[in-house]
């Protein structure tokens, strides 16, 4: 279930004002703009979405008021805002009740109710991103001589958060990714700084050509633009690879910054790809041998910590779309082929030391027998559900050894070429229920980053022999196709 939301303080501009009694207590409790109709407030955007509503929402708003809210992002980030609910009284050309979104260096955008009539201009589901660090939302309602009880419009509910900085666009519907501008004569290193190293790096946005040294030209419209791309597989606090500890160890904050904790039909895991996707196992979404599954099952995703209670405090990342590989067959209990899925989040996640994506594999050498890798997760340990992220160092096993192990036990499970196995019969494997969907990572010596080669898929009990993983390399083209909108 979603974690508790941390409400912020939204005081009146003058906290000692006597014309707004009780505002500080009221705003702290509800975390929304309330009372003081002509006052302003300042909100500090955070990594996870927070709510901003019109006064009194979801109750009908009062007529004859005006309030402004300034939303500010940390240095190096911008503000993203999207309306979840928008119900204002219709008016011609927004001459009546309206919401105006503005920011430095860009023209204001005004929106108002429509409700099936040609009047008004609602914002729809567009995502607005500030051109700088701040964005202002102004809510105005016209005075009315009518009985207030006859006014049934409830106002708006919006979500705001920080996103990677975008210097090239005014406030507008957001494009995916972040961009940094490199004006003629600029030092390319300056662009790199805009991309918040070491979490992002500057890269050519789309089809670009290098017109002059240090200047990038877009072939379509001539804009000089670079795009800030997430850096994958390079934790700020990497694990010590020379350790020889057997069994599981407790992860330190930042060791596995791609680790996701999921709650769908139970606890599971996943890994962050880019800044908007979670790689996981299909069976965490459609479990095998499930008789009755609820439709519209909630999919909850948490990131950013090694302790579950702290993850819950940070809050759930809403999921926009779930994509399960077409080869996955839920009704075939002994066949985990195609056990891979992608979760597209509603909002891009600002990256940092505790939230970074993992890389995808690109060659078979990452699966050679004996290669040591790490699997992390929040699964059961010694019969108990853990509250802390654990990890184990285990070798890739040979297919011959795993096939012989399955045959000896006369197991019916399918061990296809799109799977591989991990472990050693001489030591107790550490993967168990609750780890499904988490990834097995190895260090790529050539690319100098961590690669998710496998997804925890299936095994025979806990602590018995080998564990079996979805081979990510077999599905890289499908993954990229989904993420690029081609599948």
Q: Which residues are catalytic?
A: 283, 339, 436
Q: Are 480 and 401 in contact (CB under 8 A)?
A: no
Smallest Cα–Cα separation from 155: which of 139, 166, 171? 139
Contact 40, 85 (CB under 8 A): no
Q: Report the chain's terminal Cα–Cα distance, integer Å.
A: 30
Alpha-carbon gap, residue 277 to 389, rounded angstroms:
20
Assigned token pair, 199: 């979490």
What gap in Å lies between CA 278 and CA 324, rounded to an integer? 12
Q: Which residues pair with 451 in a beta bridge?
A: 359, 442
| Paired tokens of 242 | 């020379």
> Helix, strand, coil % (nearest 5) of the chain?
10, 35, 55
Give me the half-sphere count of Cα atoms (radius 13 Å) on the Cβ side of residue 409.
Answer: 14
Task: Give bridge partners of residue 443 from the DSSP assignment.
Answer: 450
Could you tell me the two tokens for 449?
């980053």
Q: Are 80 and 160 in contact (CB under 8 A)?
A: yes
The CA distance from 294 to 134, in Å, is: 42
> Count H helices, E strands: the chain?
5, 30
- The neighbouring-strand residues paired with 261 are 269, 302
- Specify the residue for token string 């901003």: 52
| Cα gap 169→106, rounded to integer Å | 9
Burial of 5 from C-beta contacts in 10 A (0-12 / 13-18 / 19+): middle
């Amino acid at each position: 279930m979603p974690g508790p939301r941390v409400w912020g303080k939204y005081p009146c501009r003058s906290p000692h004002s006597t014309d707004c009694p009780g505002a500080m207590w009221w705003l702290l409790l509800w975390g929304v703009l309330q009372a003081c109709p002509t006052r302003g407030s300042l909100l500090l955007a955070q990594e996870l979405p927070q709510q901003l509503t019109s006064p009194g929402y979801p109750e009908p708003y009062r007529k004859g008021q005006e309030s402004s809210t300034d939303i500010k992002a940390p240095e190096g980030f911008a503000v993203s805002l999207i309306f979840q609910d928008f119900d204002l009284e219709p008016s011609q050309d927004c001459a009546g009740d309206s919401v105006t979104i503005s920011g430095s260096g860009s023209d204001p955008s005004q929106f108002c109710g429509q409700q099936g009539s040609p009047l008004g201009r609602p914002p729809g589901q567009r995502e607005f991103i500030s051109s700088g660090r701040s964005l202002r939302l102004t809510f105005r309602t016209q005075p009315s001589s009518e009985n207030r009880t006859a006014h049934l419009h409830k106002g708006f509910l919006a979500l705001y958060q920080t996103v990677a900085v975008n210097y090239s666009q005014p406030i507008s519907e957001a494009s995916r990714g972040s961009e940094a501008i490199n004006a003629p004569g600029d030092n390319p290193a300056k662009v790199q700084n805009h991309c918040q190293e070491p979490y992002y790096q500057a890269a050519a946005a789309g089809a670009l050509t290098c017109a002059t040294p240090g200047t990038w030209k877009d072939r379509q419209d001539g804009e000089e633009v670079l795009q800030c791309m997430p850096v994958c597989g390079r934790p700020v606090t990497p694990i010590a690879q020379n350790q020889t500890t057997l069994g599981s160890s407790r992860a330190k904050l930042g060791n596995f910054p791609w680790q996701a904790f999921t709650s769908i039909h139970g606890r599971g895991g996943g890994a962050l790809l880019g800044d908007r996707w979670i790689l996981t196992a299909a069976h965490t979404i459609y479990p095998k041998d499930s008789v009755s599954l609820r439709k519209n099952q909630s999919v909850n995703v948490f990131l950013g910590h090694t302790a579950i209670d702290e993850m819950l405090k940070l809050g759930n990342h809403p999921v926009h779309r779930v994509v399960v590989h077409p080869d996955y067959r839920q009704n075939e209990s002994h066949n985990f082929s195609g056990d891979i899925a992608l979760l597209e989040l509603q909002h891009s996640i600002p990256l940092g030391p505790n939230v970074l994506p993992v890389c995808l594999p690109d060659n078979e050498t990452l699966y050679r027998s004996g290669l040591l890798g790490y699997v992390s997760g929040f699964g059961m340990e010694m019969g108990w559900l853990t509250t802390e992220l654990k990890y184990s160092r285990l070798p890739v096993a040979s297919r011959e050894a795993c096939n012989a192990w399955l045959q000896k036990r006369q197991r019916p499970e399918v061990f296809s070429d799109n799977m591989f196995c991990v472990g050693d019969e001489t030591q107790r494997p550490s993967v168990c229920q609750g780890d499904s969907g988490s990834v097995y990572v190895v260090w790529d010596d050539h690319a100098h980053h961590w690669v998710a080669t496998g997804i925890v898929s299936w095994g025979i009990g806990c602590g018995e022999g080998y564990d079996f993983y979805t081979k990510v390399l077999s599905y890289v083209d499908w993954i990229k196709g989904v993420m690029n909108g081609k599948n």
